[in-house]
Amino acid sequence: MAIAVFVVFVALVLAVSTHTSRKARSVGGYFVANSSIHWGVNGIAFAGGYLSVASFLGICGLIAFFGYDGFLYSIGFLAGWIVALFVIAEPMKRMGTFTFSDALNRKFSRPGIQLAAGLSVLVVSLFYLVPQMVGAGVLVEPLLGIPHYWGVIIVGTVVILIVAGGGMTSTTYVQFFNGGLLLTFATILTIAVLARGVHTADLPSEEGTQGLESYRFEETAIDLSGDIPQVALPYARVTGRHAVIDRHTGKESLVFYRVERPYPAVEGVDQTWSAIIMGRTVSFDSPPPDGYPWRFDQPYGRPVVMVNQWWLLDKDRGVLVETQNRTILPDGNSLVNGGPESASNRLRQMGYVSQIPEDYGESTGSVGPVRLLSILSDRSTVVQRPMHTAFTDETGEQITIYYEKPTSGDVFMRPGLMFPLEAREGEPAFTTLLNRLNFISLMLALFFGTSALPHILIRYYTVPSAEAARKSTIVAIAGIGLFYILTMYLGVGALASGAINPETSNMSAPLLARSFGEVLFAMISGIAFTTVLATVSGLIMAASGAVAHDLMGNLMRREFSDRSKVLTGRVVAIVVGVIGIVLGIAFRDMNVSFLVGWAFAVAASANLPSLLFMLFWKKTTAPGIIASILVGIILSVGLILLSPDMWARYGLDPAGAPMPINQPGIVSIPLSFITLVLVSLATQKKRPASA
Amino acid sequence: MTQHVSASEAAYERRKTVIGVRMTVLYSIVYGGFVVLSVFRPALMGARALFGLNLAVAYGLGLILIAILFALVYNHLCRTPSAGGIPKDTPGT
């Protein structure tokens, strides 16, 4: 069904694109939809283009995993629109005709400005494009059951058809369509979450679902007094131990025991036996291939398969708590929960609310929007968050353990779980300071980045007047604000419904939808694709304008006719689309959400200082603007390349990275501002001696 | 096209700019307060504030709702210029 919805959506999108392509022959038609879009449509299109998969799937997933810290992105992503509305929207519209570099250059008419601005649009668009394309690929694998690269290729091709064919008009209507769908279905899902309420006893996700269902982990007593720990499960024995050492205190923060335990086995065909493990049917070869960690026995007269699993020690209560694991064997094959991975043996969904305030008993029943958040942030509420830890054991098995961590409601619903802001035991003061700076840096980039994103800036030119630009920005703020409030409910709803795939946070919203039935699941999956299409087409449109209008248009001003400008725009759209496809496949393992945070930092550093100063500081000069843009790009991109996250990606020790924090904004944004001021002062008409 | 901008229109634009800048500064202060509290008093963010919500949730949702409210107020202020008429939509290029 998900495939059917996807095909229908793509067909609709292409139909719109074909219908509008006739309007895209002139320069104004292709690049700015003849500036004839109604402000209401433009406002929803703003929302549809701005709300990327990072907002939709990424934030919901982060909230499901980390609680309030995911919502910080929602707050920052929206707050940036205030800058967009109050200081950027109307002047941009009044001063430019096609691209924001037109507006920047209006006072000065220096090709250098347009070249620098065009270059920065290209860089930011590409930074933003990669995570969107990767996201497209990540989505198709679980949703449609086709390989990652096909997702990237399909999205890339459809977007090229949209942009190269219909230009800004079709891009606008695709974004409008997506914005409407996103708002409608996020509202429906939120109402469903509120109607369901919170249950501590039963798990809604088990009902009528065919994929990853949620599972309540078992507990067993453990006696640690002897040399070898004894567990209270019949015929089970401890076969291994793994401890996670705290980096700062040197103490064991988590202890896991590997426990070999019997499961009744039934003989199948071809020397295989099957057993039910965690409610899944698992098939085992007999005898096991060399080095495979299971064996057969008859401890109580019936055949059993002895399977190794990992349990988490709860020291306070003296019990072991069952966990899930994925083990990659040295030969590359994957085991799930001790048995070979297969269509029927997959990781179970995780997450639930194990305790709510006493007045409610086991279930809250339907609740209102304020009540739900109040229950979840209560001190006596306990949520079970999915966590994982990975290590390689002495035999070369790569083991990832997925366990649930009880977290009280008041900690879950305030900042700190993803961005550690409080000093932890044994942590050097400098580390705490860096953590805090990293957080401030991110919030700064989100606040200043939004209004400088190229695919947002181009949308000021699709409406007829400055007033319409203002009104459409207000519609965007209302729509996007509503959506971000809903992300909170989708995120906590996924956790409370046990709808979390412990391996990928991005699937939380679709899996939440599936817990309400296949129809909603299919719709949400389809919308996830239109979200990618809408954002990517906006980015490619911006890149196309930047190259055709700013870079080429300025370099060959004389001989560049309107007709060839449109043709160049179309060719650039195809080229950038193909680059996007290649990068989307190459960076398939990239984390989607933090790359988006970086794109904001680059946009805020490169574009915003010149935009603001040109509007509000009379002494701004052309060299000042050019220097600020270039310094912004080079610093932000450079600091990202030298950051601990990138160091880890190069295979080096993150602690050795030259830049101690991941978010460059706190350094690159102020320096870009300072550069603009200094260079402008140095290049005033009554020029002082300095260069 | 608005080649010659009348004096009243220029005054109207200036007034809008002043309102916009003031509202941006005001919002920045509220947003900055949120960031500062999160960084330096995270435990306080877990305390009960409004309607049974803790401070973090109330402040966070508040920031979104205030943004929407500010947007509507700004639009209202822009619609009633003190001098001159409301600039009519100019046709596109």
Q: Which residues of A touch B91 (CB under 8 A)?
A: 464
The SS3 call for residue A646 is helix
How much is the pLDDT for A593?
Answer: 63
Phi, psi of B65 (to 5 degrees): -65, -40
Top-ranked range on mean pLDDT: pick from A236-250, A471-485, A514-528: A471-485
Between A629 and A205, the more confident residue is: A629
Cα–Cα dist A5/A496, whole Å: 27
Give the separation between CA A434 and CA A440, rounded to whole angstroms.
Answer: 10
Contact A75 B34 (CB under 8 A): yes
Place of tokens 């196309």: A544
- Which pLDDT does position A32 carry in this prediction? 79
Tell me the residue type at A401: I
Question: CB contact, 8 Å: B18 with chain A?
Answer: no
Q: Which of B17, B39, B44, B66 to mutate to test the interface with A (most CBs of A within 10 A)?
A: B39
Task: Please say whether the beta carbons of A139 and A509 come within 8 A.
Answer: no
Chain position carrying tokens 């891009």: A171
Quote the CA–CA distance of A204 and A221 in Å, as a whole number. Answer: 29
Residue A558 has pLDDT above 90, yes or no: no
When mean pLDDT is compared over A84-93, A478-487, A549-558, B50-59, the highest value belongs to A478-487
Q: Domains of chain A, with CATH numbers?
A: 2-197+439-592 (1.20.1730.10), 216-347+378-412 (no CATH)
Q: Do A85 and B20 touch (CB under 8 A)?
A: yes
Query: Whole-number mean pLDDT of chain A?
Result: 85
Minimal C-alpha gap between B64 and chain A (Å): 6
> How does residue A214 score in pLDDT terms, banded at 50, 70 and 90?
low
What residues of chain B lie within 8 A of the CB of A439, using their CB? 35, 38-39
Question: What pLDDT is attached to residue A557?
Answer: 59
- For the cut 70, the answer to whether the pLDDT of residue A591 exceeds it is no
Q: What DSSP assignment string belongs to A664-681?
A: -HHHHHHHHHHHHHHHHH
Nearest to A97 by CA among A3, A173, A34, A170: A34
Predicted pLDDT at A210 = 46
- B67 with A81: Cβ contact below 8 A: yes
| Residues A418/A62, Cβ–Cβ less than 8 Å | yes
Residue B2 pLDDT > 70: no
Q: How confident is the model at residue A57 (pLDDT cuts 50, 70, 90)?
A: confident
- The pLDDT score that the predictor gives to residue A370 is 92
State the Cα–Cα distance between residues A491 and B38, nearest whole angstrom. Answer: 20
- pLDDT in the model for residue A476: 92
Q: What percent of chain A has pLDDT over 90?
A: 24
For residues A489-508, give the mean pLDDT: 88
Q: Give dist(CA A45, CA A476) in Å, integer.
A: 8
Q: The complex's ipTM?
A: 0.84
pLDDT band at B91 (very low <50, low <70, confident <90, very high): very low
pLDDT at residue A686 in the model: 58
Q: Which residue has the higher pLDDT, A592 or A617?
A: A617
A556 pLDDT band (50/70/90 cuts)?
low
Residue A630: its pLDDT value, please?
92
**Banded pLDDT at B88 (limits 50, 70, 90):** very low
Of all residues in chain A, what percent carry a pLDDT higher than 70?
Answer: 95
pLDDT at B89 over 60: no
For residue A396, list its beta bridge partners.
Answer: none
Identify the residue among A364, A377, A419, A618 best suited for mutation to test binding to B, counting B beta carbons within 10 A and taking the highest: A377
Mutate to test the interface with A, among B12, B14, B50, B64 (most CBs of A within 10 A): B64
| pLDDT category of residue A188 using cuts at 50, 70 and 90 | very high
Top pLDDT among A92 and A49 is at: A49
* pLDDT score of A348: 86
Which residues of B fall within a CB distance of 8 Å from A71? 60
Nearest to B5 by CA among A507, A378, A95, A117: A95
Per the CB < 8 Å rule, is A72 touching B60? Answer: yes
Average the pLDDT over A652-656 and give the result.
81
